[in-house]
Structure 1
Amino acid sequence: MKQSVENNTSKAVKYTVKADQSGTTTYGVSVGVEAELKAGIFTNIKGSINGSVQKSMTTSYGSQVETEVEPRKTLTVQYGIWRENVAWKSYYMRKNCSITKEQHGTAWAPYQIRWRLFY
């Protein structure tokens, strides 16, 4: 998210910017039971019971920044997830304990949620 505020006055003005986020996670479990009963020489009784339970959880949080915008300036405010480039390597250990390098590479990974203010 990126916002700008322009102050065309001769005095500093206060500025507040807010960001709200929310998310929902759903999880569950399913259970099944099956039973068979021999009631006599030629008779079988078979039955099953199945069921499931699901739950969901919603979380939300907000963040805000309060600042002053200098006279005759435009302040830009940016809020989001910053990321960094990380390197990775994978190895394979054999039964005889020898190690072989399998693969390597780089990937972008999120590391911080933050505000950035700049003129």
Structure 2
Amino acid sequence: MEQFPVAHNCLQVGGRPLTEIAAAVGSTPFYAYDGAVMAAQVDKLRGALPAGLHLHYAMKANPMPEVVGHLAGLTDGLDVASAGELRVALATGTEPRDISFAGPGKSDEDLRLAVDSGVIINMESA
């Protein structure tokens, strides 16, 4: 993978050897993300899309709060599909007007939280 170079026979993530990250984490398996790689991928995607298009991160891809927080700063908003994802999105400081709630099967609690939060709600058929 070009995003994750190998140096001294060890995969590098964020400029650090994966073995060093594993030692710091203390257990395996684990996920390692490189914020610079995420930013580069967002830039690459933006470059391929028409100017003025709003890019939202779909949290169903990975709702990990640290990932969402990083991508919230790189995109124009967040797309959530549950009350739990909505809580994570709001915790990033993303403006409610920049959060869209999509997906079928929304519970009354989900809808109440979405309305009370002031996010955009996409309605689907039952």
Q: What is the TM-score when the length of structure 2 is the normalising length?
A: 0.16
Higher Rg of the two aligned structures: 1
Larger helix share, 1 or 2: 2
Larger strand share, 1 or 2: 1
Higher relative contact order (CA 8 A, sep 6+): 1
